[in-house]
Amino acid sequence: MEGSRPALRLVQGVNASPAEVEWWWFCGHCAAPAPGQGAPAPGARVCMSCGLGLLLETRKDVAPRPKDAFLVIDSSLLIQAMSRHAQRLLDIAEESAVNRPVGELLVPADAEPGSAGGFARSIADAAAGRDEGASAVVRPWNTFGVRMRARIAPCGPPRAALVVLEDTQARRLRAV
């Protein structure tokens, strides 16, 4: 087993050529980029910036920035990690959120029928490793009138979905 390659890795989708997709390693807690941006050794995947998160890989165009709020969700739609900014935005500690269904924290903001299935389906597709990114408009489950755009994309290893939250109200306030 020594010197063997990891069993799981992200692969490019059938619609993407290698030149189209650029991959990015980031910390699953603070979003700091991995040093050198090469694949880290399996034993060296803890973030060197914060010491709390595992290094994950996703498409560069959806990778979170250090000030972004984001969650990492597995194929069972359970939260596996969240950034400190997501903890503040959703008013919950990571320890309380891990292994809870994402629906206990975020729900689709739209009232149309079927919108809940679309959000869950996008997360499940991303966690299954499908390359196509998706977006949705969501809100905290217990708060009305708050809308956030969510960018959803695959990340890993292990395979999971990355949900980057953009607080549209905060963005509008900055623009004024």
- For residues 30 and 84, the answer to whether their CB atoms sit within 8 Å is yes
Distance of CA 49 to the CA centre of its chain: 19
pLDDT of residue 169: 54
Query: Which superfamily is assigned to 62-175 in CATH?
Result: PAS domain (3.30.450.20)
pLDDT of residue 11: 54
Evaluate if residue 147 carries a pLDDT over 70: yes
Kindly list the domain boundaries of the chain, sorted by start residue: 62-175
Average of per-residue pLDDT across 53-69: 92
> pTM value?
0.79
Handedness of CA 10, 15, 18, 19 (dihedral sign): negative
Evaluate if residue 1 carries a pLDDT over 90: no
Q: Is 23 helix (H, G, I), strand (E, B) or coil?
A: strand
Query: Smallest Cα–Cα separation from 138: which of 113, 161, 168?
Result: 168
Percent of the chain scoring above 70 in pLDDT? 77
Query: Smallest Cα–Cα separation from 87: which of 102, 73, 69, 75?
Result: 69
User: Of the ranges 38-47, 82-91, 112-121, which is most confident?
Assistant: 82-91
Distance in angstroms (rounded) separating the CA atoms of residues 21 and 17: 7
pLDDT of residue 173: 42
The phi and psi torsions of 104 (rounded to 5 degrees) equal -80, -10
The 10s digit of each residue's pLDDT in 77-109 is: 999 999 999 999 999 999 999 999 999 999 988
Evaluate if residue 75 carries a pLDDT over 90: yes
Sequence-ordered list of residues with C-beta below 8 angstroms from that of 67, at least 6 positions apart, any chain:
31, 85
Q: Is 41 helix (H, G, I), strand (E, B) or coil?
A: coil
Q: Is 102 helix (H, G, I), strand (E, B) or coil?
A: helix
